Amino acid sequence: MAIDSGHTRGGLRRPDRRPSPVRRNVQRAPVSPAPAPGAVRTQPVVDPALAAQVEDAVRGSTPFTRAPVRIAAPDMRAGAGRTSRHRARWAWEGRYLRTLLAVDFVIGLLAGLVAFEARFSNDLTRYTSRYVLLSILLPVAFTASLAANRAYEKRHLFVGTDEYQRVLRAGLALTAATVFIAYASEIRIARVWFFVALPLVTFGCLLARFLLRKLLHRARKLRGACMRRVVVVGHELAVEAMARQLRRERYHGLKVVGACLPAPGTVADVPVLGAFDEIAAAVRKARADTVLVLSCPELDGHALRRLAWHLERDDIDLIVASTLIDVAGSRTTIRPVDGLPMLHVEHPTLTGARRLVKALVDRAGAVLLLMLFSPLLALLALAVRADSAGPVLFRQVRVGKDGHEFVIYKFRTMHIDAEARLAELRHLNEVDGALFKLRNDPRVTRVGRLLRKFSLDELPQLLNVIGGSMSLVGPRPPLPEEVAVYPDDARRRLAVRPGMTGLWQVSGRSDLSWDEAVRLDLQYVENWSLSLDLVILLRTLSAVTRGAGAY
């Protein structure tokens, strides 16, 4: 069955009340009449030249121009359109899920054994045998808590922070349930075992899931593996922009293999497989398993519903892109009003108890990190002093929350006359916007290049975090001259405290354009959460280790 492409007041032509004999067979229910006795039943025939041309276009060898040939109606039998591409996707998703279950179980078992060792030192008695049993049951209880919090559902895996949030919820839920059961049953639990086992299994599973996801993203970026084949539906410019973004951010796992436009046209590097009334056929020809619908007036609610019915028969995923920009799912709620779904958007959390908790976590974490890195800080200070003349610390005025200025501390990475030489290098700026970045800046010292490569020059900012002018995670702290030329949107970055690390640092650092850095900072401001901070801190470790985009 195909969606009509004619126009009426609603944007699409309604089916004729008296369909012509040629179209009547296409509009009937998906139950084919029984063949006559002795007749041979055949599948719909597609021009081989057309099929070969589409296949070549999907593989990128030749451009595709839609020929004036009507594609035969698709087979409406349930599951008839499921191809090997579907089976391949189900295979790697199943392997990933089984690996996740096994890793969670092993980590739970190890956490229980470590807690037992920390409390009882392998002293097996009648009393400690109960904790051996608890240690063995811990992975079962934790995986059950993860399942109850839907941490194994595929829509929460692979990308985004929702998976990590659900792991944290599972850990908190298991902790609360253990306390309640122990109190109600008047069972005393060894505090050392309790305070070692449950935090260890929670954060161990968080780290394991983070590493598994990094391996998945690496496979997608380097080998193009574990990808979904996507047909994008929309207008030319929107389709081209979406294809370019998905091509740049391959870790999302969406590979554009074709497009459907409202009218004949072309899209750069994407084969056009048909019009809006040929989406189902285009999906089959491109062997796609996902359809991404962009915002366009031709596809209203009724058309999307009919499209969903078509795709459901072949188990094709349907993604509808929202026009909301950088709004996390936790801030949106769908509430029906007289049968019409309404998307409610909550305001971001910029003040209140959650922000107070963030400030406390920031300062406590900064104190611990400062104590942990104190030997390294001393060595770096000696290296800076020995490499070039000048002070060890570099002090500079930056703009913080609500536009208040503060002094930021960093290890000095440039010669002492760097500010005086800035004017003569301004024309060599390699980035757009208000930033100044030069990959081979002659003002940077030898030790300074090493410090910048691994972001070690920013460690003294832990003093700013303890003082309350900065946060561990947040937008980049800007210079006053940058803020002076900020557009209205960019000033939104000043609604929260700047951070030592943030989304822009873990997404490319200096390799990002000005607009992209602003977009990532605004995305953080709008969708902040403690779990997002934890994810950014974990990603910071890998970004610093690689040293990419730092100069």
Q: What is the pLDDT along the chain (551 residues), one digit of tens a residue?
A: 333 444 444 444 444 444 444 333 333 333 434 444 444 444 444 454 445 444 444 444 444 444 333 333 444 444 444 555 567 777 888 899 999 999 999 999 999 999 998 888 777 777 788 888 889 999 999 999 999 999 999 888 888 778 888 999 999 999 999 999 888 888 888 888 999 999 999 999 999 998 999 899 989 988 888 899 999 999 999 899 899 989 888 888 899 999 999 888 888 889 999 888 888 888 888 888 899 999 888 887 788 888 888 888 878 889 888 776 667 666 777 777 776 777 777 777 777 788 888 999 999 999 999 999 999 999 999 999 988 888 999 999 999 998 999 999 999 988 887 777 777 777 676 666 556 667 777 888 889 888 888 889 999 999 999 999 999 999 989 889 888 888 888 888 898 999 999 888 787 666 677 778 888 888 888 888 887 888 888 888 877 776 555 55
- What is the widest separation between alpha-carbon atoms in the chain? 98
CA nearest 44: which of 20, 77, 66?
Answer: 77
Specify whether the CB–CB gap between 167 and 530 falls below 8 A: no
- Cβ contacts of 3-10, under 8 Å, gap ≥ 24: 3/276, 3/277, 3/279, 3/303, 3/306, 3/307, 3/310, 4/277, 5/275, 5/276, 5/277, 10/300, 10/302
CA nearest 252: which of 283, 216, 285, 289?
Answer: 216
CA nearest 138: which of 167, 118, 109?
Answer: 109
Tokens linked to 41:
């039943």
Tokens linked to 256:
């554009």
In the block, residue with structure tokens 């994008």 = 232
Q: Could you give the C-alpha distances from 293 to 28, 186, 257, 343, in angstroms and in order?
A: 26, 56, 14, 18
β pairing state of 393-399 and 405-411: antiparallel
d(CA 225, CA 205): 24
Residues in the chain: 551
Report field, pTM of the whole predicted structure over 0.85: no
d(CA 209, CA 202): 11
Q: Is 305 exposed, middle or buried (0-12, 13-18, 19+ CB in 10 A)?
A: exposed
In the block, residue with structure tokens 């030898």 = 446
CA 321 to chain CA mean position, Å: 15
**Alpha-carbon dihedral 158, 162, 165, 169, rounded to 10 degrees:** -100
Tell me the residue ranges of DSSP E strands in 234-372. Answer: 254-260, 272-274, 290-293, 317-320, 332-337, 340-345
Q: Could you give the C-alpha distances from 430 to 414, 425, 437, 443, 486, in angstroms and in order?
A: 18, 11, 6, 15, 19
DSSP per residue over 162-219, as a string?
HHHHHHHHHHHHHHHHHHHHHHHTT----HHHHHHHHHHHHHHHHHHHHHHHHHHHHH
In degrees, rounded to 5, the angle at the alpha carbon of residue 515 between the alpha carbons of residues 434 and 400 is: 55
